[in-house]
């Protein structure tokens, strides 16, 4: 069966959307997971911790950690909490609407953007959004 360009584009578009036209939940899930995994990878590199060592610290197999990094498994909140504890980091999350509000508060081409930072648990007294002027 030959598919013309329009059919190929429709098939590709349908791959990333569900029946009601919303962006594919599986794609969004993976993109969110990759953001967390990127931060975890940076923390591991900074602390010179291998995947095998991280697995040992959270009580799982090195294979499972590798599958998370490769995107073959989806990380869950419990595993994120274990990793956060094992690495001594804290994830801070900001809603997109808050980012827009902060952008609008800027002046003369400058605006303040919240940044997702990983901090040592010992450094964090209460969760805060770090602000940087750009």
Query: Are 100 and 82 in the same domain?
Result: no
Please return the burial class of 112, using the count of CB atoms within 10 Å of its CB with bins 0-12, 13-18 and 19+. Answer: middle
Q: Is the confidence at residue 12, as pLDDT, over 80?
A: no
Statement to judge: residues 75 and 104 lie in one domain = no
Percent residues over pLDDT 70 in the chain? 60
CA end-to-end span of the chain: 53
Mean pLDDT of the chain: 75
Provide the token pair at 91. Answer: 């994830």
pLDDT value at residue 59 = 97
Are 81 and 113 members of one domain? Answer: no
59 and 118 both lie in a single domain:
no
Whether residue 83 is found in the same domain as residue 125: no
Indicate the number of domains in the chain. 2
Q: How high is the pLDDT of residue 25?
A: 85
Residue 107 confidence (pLDDT): 43
pLDDT digit string, tens, across residues 68-120: 999 999 999 999 999 999 999 998 887 777 767 767 776 434 433 334 444 44
**Same domain flag for 54 and 81:** yes
d(CA 1, CA 15): 19
Classify 23 as helix, strand or coil: strand
- What 8-state DSSP symbol labels residue 81? H
- The SS3 of residue 115 is strand
62 and 35 part of one domain = yes
- The whole-model pTM stands at 0.59
Please report which confidence band the pLDDT of residue 125 belongs to, taking 50, 70 and 90 as the band edges: very low
Question: The tokens 């770090």 sit on which residue?
Answer: 130
Clarify whether residues 24 and 45 are in a common domain.
Answer: yes
Looking at the structure, tell me whether residues 14 and 80 fall in a common domain. yes
Asked whether residue 56 falls in the same domain as residue 107, the answer is no
List the domain range (segments joined by +) for residue 100. 96-133
């Amino acid at each position: 069966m030959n598919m013309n360009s329009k059919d190929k584009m429709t098939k590709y578009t349908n791959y990333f959307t569900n029946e009601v036209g919303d962006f594919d939940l599986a794609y969004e899930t993976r993109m969110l997971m990759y953001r967390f995994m990127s931060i975890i990878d940076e923390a591991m590199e900074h602390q010179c911790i291998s995947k095998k060592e991280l697995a040992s610290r959270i009580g799982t197999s090195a294979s499972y950690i590798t599958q998370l990094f490769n995107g073959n498994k989806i990380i869950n909140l419990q595993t994120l909490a274990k990793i956060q504890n094992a690495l001594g980091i804290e994830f801070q999350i900001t809603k997109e609407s808050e980012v827009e509000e902060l952008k609008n508060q800027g002046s003369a081409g400058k605006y303040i953007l919240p940044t997702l930072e990983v901090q040592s648990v010992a450094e964090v007294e209460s969760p805060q959004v770090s602000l940087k002027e750009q």
